[in-house]
């Protein structure tokens, strides 16, 4: 049938993405790989670039923002070291894709977006796709989400110049924060911050490029 012939096989594209972009690199966490197999990434990109949804790159989602490269989403998810009952905070909802990947692994996902139209779109999209349990808030993630703290893990998907104190405070003992840190417009380091005995331990993971972390009153 012609319609069947024209049907794009996104499932096959996802499987190729998981094999060539994730497993063939260094992603081995089974929960992360399964989540990447499940989430319909093409639903999270603008309709006119759906054919590129599973490409090995970040894609524009409007408002000068991007949906991260699949590898980056998987690498950051793997770094969070999630357990089924982990409670996670994401800063930078964007398209909602990373939040959906997290929601495939755990029940408690909280995410904050600063750009109102993106917040609205992501909130509606996550609901439509069945990720009703994800709490999506409009606001400046610099302050974290104190009402729902503490978190087992926090993931920041925008590049910051320094580590926001509020995020460290809202981490549980033994919890970890994954965040790209470095100069504005430059190459940043993805770092893992682990909180132990009230102290923090910072480890560099890899150099990365991310859209900047913005602040409400920045002009």
Dihedral (Cα; 194, 200, 206, 210), 10-degree rounding: 90
Q: Which of 68, 78, 121, 170 binds ligand SAH (CB under 6 A)?
A: 68
- The answer to whether 97 contacts ligand SAH (rule: CB under 6 A) is yes
Q: Which is nearer to ligand SAH, 26 or 64 (CB)?
A: 64
- Which DSSP state fits 213? P
CB 147 within 8 A of CB 169: no
Each residue 19-58 as x (binds ligand SAH by CB under 6 A) or -, in order, gives ----------------------------------------
Residue 133 and residue 115: Cα distance in Å, rounded?
21
Q: Is 60 a catalytic residue?
A: no
Q: Which is nearer to ligand SAH, 147 or 173 (CB)?
A: 147
| Pairing assessment for the beta strands 171-181 and 151-156 based on DSSP bridges | parallel
Q: Which of 36, 53, 67, 80 binds ligand SAH (CB under 6 A)?
A: 67
Backbone angles phi, psi at 45, to 5 degrees: -115, 155
Q: How many CB atoms lie within 10 A of CB 186?
A: 10
Binding residues for ligand SAH, rule: CB under 6 A, are 65-68, 91-92, 94-95, 97-98, 112-115, 118, 140-142, 157-158, 211, 213-215
């Amino acid at each position: 049938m012609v319609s069947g012939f024209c049907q794009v096989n996104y499932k096959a594209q996802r499987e190729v993405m998981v094999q060539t972009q994730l497993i063939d690199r260094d992603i081995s966490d089974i929960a992360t790989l399964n989540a990447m197999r499940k989430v319909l990434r093409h639903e999270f990109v603008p309709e006119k670039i759906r054919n590129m949804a599973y490409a090995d790159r970040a894609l524009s989602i409007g408002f000068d923002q991007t949906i991260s490269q699949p590898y980056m989403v998987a690498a950051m998810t793997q770094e969070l070291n999630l357990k089924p009952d982990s409670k996670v905070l994401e800063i930078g909802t964007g398209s909602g894709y990373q939040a959906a990947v997290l929601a495939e692994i755990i029940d408690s996902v909280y995410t904050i977006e600063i750009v109102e139209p993106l917040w609205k779109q992501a909130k509606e999209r996550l609901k439509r796709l069945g990720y009703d349990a994800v709490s999506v808030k409009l606001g400046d993630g610099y302050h974290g989400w104190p009402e729902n703290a503490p978190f087992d893990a926090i993931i920041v998907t925008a590049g910051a110049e320094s580590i926001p104190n509020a995020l460290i405070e809202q981490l549980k003992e033994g919890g970890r924060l994954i965040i790209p840190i470095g100069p504005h417009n430059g190459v940043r380091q993805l770092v893992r911050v682990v909180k132990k005995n009230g102290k923090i331990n910072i480890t560099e993971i890899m150099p990365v490029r991310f859209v900047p972390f913005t602040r409400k009153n920045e002009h």
